[in-house]
């Protein structure tokens, strides 16, 4: 490891199909942001793709629509059917917005903060969400940062915007930590030691503290750091300590005017509300990815959830999962300790999810189907990204059983079924097949079709860096069989 006042550079080698390439991470200290880049030492082979390796519900077909993309996070169509792609930057270090023109990708904008998390479009204007920012791009190429200073420099960031019927933008803001406590699982601590989560209401803390080996004092081998909830690393809590309300709270849903003015909090108490959308009746829905068994306060068996959003409520983070308190025995990590509650005075009884998905599904996006020729009217289709972590206690988390698929939510019965999945049950990199790897976005578009963004192959053991040229857009269509 090579250190400097401006950044930390970490070099390592990995393999992909016996081809070695060098990966270089750069953790920038400017505003606590992180900059990642990937430099190939040898050319990366083209990703093997075979739609026949994907099981899909009878009556539908699937094909490759676009390939050889660099870690795409999302897509959007304009009113003319033109396609725009958000390149996250997690494979090249250069996030970009691209447009498909006559079968070729044309650069629209670049130089965003890694990663771009999504893109949307309204009335000739593109809205790009990237770490800490929402930026508008106009038809003439000019750009405007309309929202800045979001608390996105920790583990999670701000998601793509959604448009409400009254023409406001809504977006989810993820948490800085897994469960409210900065610990040794947070790789950004040496760069941003004062970073921590912020509450969305006035709360009292129970005052428990969590001991770790102090990673900020390497020379002192027996030094311990005692860290409290909603405090920077190494800063303990005391009982009845108060935290005040923040509009830009960790784990919140936020809204603003289309120009970014009049920023307001809609709800809070989510861990990672990465994607949200209004249905055609004007009701807001959101996904939330639950706790992981990592860090100083690990929590096992937390579901990933799909919520109908009621404004002005607390949804339970960091003390509840899917409406159940995390001090219930089932949330105790294997080989670990039963979690305790952080808040002495929870703001309200948290709502239950509309439906819950298995742990580590990692829900990334969803869309409502309003085409009766495609399928049941109003049902929701969800892109499941799959597990992103290895547990710090107990057994490692499997790739099987959740994620790496497209699921369907029956909105009337409140049930979940698998709509499309690799026949092997595993992501393509594990099975060596030609199907799904990392579904990151799903949207209904032209030709009465569903379009699925597959971010590509990530480096083994590291879900935050992707291999260039392995991203795909799939198209699913009804075959009338």
Q: What is the mean pLDDT of the chain?
A: 89
Residue 377 is given by DSSP the state T
Q: Which of 118-127, 264-273, 339-348, 392-401 has the lowest mean pLDDT?
A: 392-401
Distance between CA atoms of residues 435 and 66, nearest Å: 14
Judging by beta carbons within 10 Å of its beta carbon (0-12, 13-18, 19+), is residue 71 exposed, middle or buried?
buried
Q: How confident is the model at residue 398 (pLDDT cuts 50, 70, 90)?
A: low
Q: How confident is the model at residue 220 (pLDDT cuts 50, 70, 90)?
A: low
Q: How confident is the model at residue 335 (pLDDT cuts 50, 70, 90)?
A: confident
Distance between CA atoms of residues 161 and 278, nearest Å: 11
Contacts of 270 (CB under 8 A, 6+ apart): 172, 174, 175, 251, 252, 253, 286, 288, 315, 317
Q: Identify the pLDDT of residue 112.
A: 98
Q: Is the pLDDT of residue 392 over 70?
A: no
Q: What is the pLDDT of residues 177-207, one digit of tens each?
A: 999 999 999 999 999 999 999 999 999 999 9
Residue 441: closest CA among 180, 172, 169, 118: 118
Distance between CA atoms of residues 162 and 111, nearest Å: 23
Q: How confident is the model at residue 463 (pLDDT cuts 50, 70, 90)?
A: confident
Q: How confident is the model at residue 225 (pLDDT cuts 50, 70, 90)?
A: very high
Mean pLDDT of 327-354: 95
Judging by beta carbons within 10 Å of its beta carbon (0-12, 13-18, 19+), is residue 311 exposed, middle or buried?
exposed
For residue 276 the two structure tokens come to 């949200």
Q: Is the pLDDT of residue 16 over 90?
A: no
Q: Identify the pLDDT of residue 464.
A: 78
Distance between CA atoms of residues 456 and 467, nearest Å: 7
Mean pLDDT of 337-358: 96
Mean pLDDT of 352-378: 96
Distance between CA atoms of residues 196 and 22, nearest Å: 32
Mean pLDDT of 153-162: 97
Could you tell me where the DSSP H helices lie in 424-481? Answer: 428-431
Q: Identify the pLDDT of residue 388.
A: 81
Q: Is the pLDDT of residue 1 over 80?
A: no
Report the percent of the chain where pLDDT is more than 90: 81
For residue 361 the two structure tokens come to 């599904």
DSSP 195-242: -----SS-EEB---EEEEE-TT-TT-TT-EEEEETTS-TT----TT-E
Q: Identify the pLDDT of residue 45.
A: 62
Q: Identify the pLDDT of residue 221.
A: 65
Provide the whole-model pTM: 0.90
């Amino acid at each position: 490891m090579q250190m400097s006042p401006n950044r930390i550079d970490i070099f390592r080698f990995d393999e992909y199909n016996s081809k070695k390439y060098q990966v270089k991470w750069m953790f920038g200290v400017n505003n606590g942001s992180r900059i990642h880049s990937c430099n190939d030492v040898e050319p990366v082979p083209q990703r093997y793709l075979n739609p026949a390796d994907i099981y899909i519900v009878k009556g539908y077909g699937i094909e490759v629509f676009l390939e050889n993309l660099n870690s795409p996070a999302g897509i959007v169509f304009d009113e003319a059917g033109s396609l725009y792609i958000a390149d996250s930057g997690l494979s090249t270090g250069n996030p970009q917005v691209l447009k498909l023109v006559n079968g070729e990708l044309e650069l629209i904008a670049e130089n965003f903060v890694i990663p771009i998390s999504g893109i949307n479009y309204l009335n000739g204007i593109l809205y790009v969400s990237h770490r800490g920012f929402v930026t508008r791009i106009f038809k003439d190429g000019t750009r405007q940062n309309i929202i800045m200073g979001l608390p996105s420099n920790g583990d999670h960031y701000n998601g793509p915007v959604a448009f409400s019927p009254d023409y406001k933008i809504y977006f989810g803001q993820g948490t800085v930590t897994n469960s409210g406590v900065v610990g040794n699982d947070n790789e950004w601590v040496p760069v941003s030691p004062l970073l921590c989560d912020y509450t969305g209401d006035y709360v009292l803390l129970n005052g428990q503290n969590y001991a770790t080996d102090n990673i900020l004092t390497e020379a002192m081998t027996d030094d311990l750091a005692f860290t409290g909830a909603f405090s920077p690393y190494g800063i303990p809590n005391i009982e009845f300590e108060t935290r005040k309300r923040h509009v830009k709270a960790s784990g919140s849903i936020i809204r603003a005017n289309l120009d970014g003015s009049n920023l307001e909090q809609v709800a809070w108490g989510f861990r990672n509300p990465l994607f949200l959308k209004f249905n055609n009746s004007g009701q807001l829905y959101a996904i939330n990815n639950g706790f992981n068994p990592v860090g100083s306060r690990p929590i096992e068996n937390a579901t990933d959830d799909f919520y109908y959003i009621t404004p002005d409520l607390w949804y339970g983070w960091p003390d509840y999962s899917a409406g159940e308190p995390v001090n219930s025995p089932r949330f105790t990590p294997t080989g670990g300790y039963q979690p305790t509650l952080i808040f002495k005075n929870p703001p309200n009884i948290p709502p239950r999810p509309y439906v819950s998905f298995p742990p580590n599904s990692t829900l990334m996006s969803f869309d409502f189907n309003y085409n009766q020729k495609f399928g049941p009217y109003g049902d929701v289709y969800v892109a499941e990204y799959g597990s992103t972590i290895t547990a710090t206690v107990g057994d490692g988390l499997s790739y099987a059983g959740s994620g790496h698929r497209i699921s369907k939510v029956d909105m009337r019965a409140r049930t979940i079924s698998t709509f499309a999945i690799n026949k092997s049950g595993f992501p393509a990199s594990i099975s060596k097949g030609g199907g799904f790897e990392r579904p990151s976005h799903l949207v209904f578009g032209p030709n009465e079709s569903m379009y699925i963004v597959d971010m590509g192959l990530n480096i083994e053991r590291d879900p935050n860096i992707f291999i260039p040229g392995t991203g795909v857009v799939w198209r699913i269509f009804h075959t009338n069989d």
